[in-house]
Amino acid sequence: MVFSLFNNKAAPIGVDMGSEFIKMLQLGKAEGGYTIIEAAVEQRPAFIEAGSSAWQHWAIKAIKQLAIDGKFKGRKVVTAMPASDVFIDQVKIPKMAEEKVREAVIAHVASKLPFDPATAMVHYVVTGTGSETEYIVMATDRVKVDHHLAIYEQAGLEAQAIAIWPLAMVWSYVSFFGRRKNDLESTVMLLEIGANFTKVVICKHSNLLFARLVNIGVNQLKDENTMRRLIDELGACARYFETQKGRIERMIFLTSQSTDKILCESVVKLARDLQVPAQIGDVLAAIEVSTEDGQACGPIERRGNMLNWTGAVGLGLFSEN
């Protein structure tokens, strides 16, 4: 749990606010897995700039209306800060008493933060131990967190927690693609290519080991050169990790089954170059798509689905992690 605001056992609605879409999804338990209680999606109008004050007003109205029109249970949500608002770094510090670690971690990243360190909300995870302890540090600006929370307050919803995108990816992986016994010790590279960013996570089951945001997404993939740049960036992440930590044993491209064929082929080629097996990880393929009353769930379609629901599903799994 990251940036927890409340301690409540109610099943939350996962809300993924990306630069292009707002996606809301609520999971329920089904025999041997999960079912979808409700899902809803709204696309950002082209004339509204993502992250602007106009976008915030639009987001309030959109989320409020989606909640009113949908069959969601309860008003509690789990959301995540936009990926571009989360600073991520890897640091090493000498071993010390636990009560001193937080101060030391913040001191190591303070000069790199793109906002005032005094307003930083910081979460860190141990990724290795030795003569020094290695941490992955994730931080965001409290001012932006307050603005984010205001969206839900004005939409009539209650934020149970604000998570961070790398953890939402890990939660989806563990729940749907990491359930075999040998997955517990496998080091896996997760890729999620969004509209304007590509998210990279490396984990060993539920243990987050590496995360990076690459500033290239589907909207930037206009030619072969940009595609090559993206694949080079992903390859650099993998090789850096393997130099520092050890071998990556599996790659999962978290996307829909209907994603771009050329993009899939490029990811497969990257996996081949790294000599690791690769697969498509479509969370919808692992969930019962019909709702509890047996009716088809609005925007959720396996066949022809172009939307990636990994983030919303991962956030909806918050109470399971």
- Give burial (CB, 10 Å; 0-12/13-18/19+) of 235: middle
CATH of domain 13-83+143-320: 3.30.420.40
- Mean pLDDT for 57-82 is 93
- Mean pLDDT for 276-280 is 92
Instruction: For residue 198, give both structure tokens.
Output: 């590509």
Among 1-10, 21-30, 75-84, the least confident range: 1-10
Residue 154 φ/ψ, nearest 5 degrees: -75, -20
Instruction: Supply the pLDDT for residue 307.
Output: 80
The answer to whether the CB of 315 falls within 8 A of the CB of 80 is yes
pLDDT at 201 over 80: yes
pLDDT at 182 over 60: yes
User: By C-alpha distance, which of 197, 183, 279, 274 is closest to 237?
Assistant: 274
Supply the DSSP string of 97-166, one letter for each residue. -HHHHHHHHHHHHGGG-SS-GGGEEEEEEEEE-SSEEEEEEEEEEHHHHHHHHHHHHHTT-EEEEEE-HH
3-state secondary structure of 219: helix
pLDDT at 1 over 60: no
Domain ranges in the chain?
Answer: 13-83+143-320, 84-140
Among 42-56, 190-204, 279-293, the least confident range: 279-293
pLDDT at 289 over 90: no
Instruction: For residue 133, give both structure tokens.
Output: 């302890």
Give, for 269, the enclosing helix (H) or strand (E): helix 261-274
pLDDT at 5 over 70: no
The answer to whether the CB of 266 falls within 8 A of the CB of 227 is yes
For 175-207, letters b (16+ CB in 10 Å) and e give bbbbeeeebeeebbbbbbbbebbbbbbbbbeee
pLDDT at 30 over 80: no
- Mean pLDDT for 66-83 is 92
Instruction: Supply the pLDDT for residue 4.
Output: 43
Q: Identify the band that residue 130 occupies on the pLDDT scale cut at 50, 70 and 90.
A: confident
pLDDT at 313 over 80: yes
Express as a percent the part of the chain with pLDDT over 90. 64
pLDDT at 14 over 90: yes
DSSP β-bridge partners for residue 121: 140
Instruction: Supply the pLDDT for residue 304.
Output: 47
First to last CA, the chain: 7
Select from 3.40.50, 2.40.70, 3.30.1490, 3.30.410 the CATH code of 84-140. Answer: 3.30.1490
The answer to whether the CB of 164 falls within 8 A of the CB of 2 is yes
Which residue would you say has higher pLDDT here, 9 or 317?
317
- Mean pLDDT for 46-54 is 91
Q: Identify the band that residue 35 occupies on the pLDDT scale cut at 50, 70 and 90.
A: confident
Compute the mean pLDDT over every residue in the chain, rounded to the nearest whole number.
Answer: 87
pLDDT at 49 over 60: yes
pTM (2 d.p.): 0.90
- Mean pLDDT for 258-276 is 87
pLDDT digits (tens, 9 = 90+) for 211-232: 999 999 888 988 889 999 999 9
Instruction: Supply the pLDDT for residue 34.
Output: 82
Instruction: Supply the pLDDT for residue 300.
Output: 62
Express as a percent the part of the chain with pLDDT over 70. 89
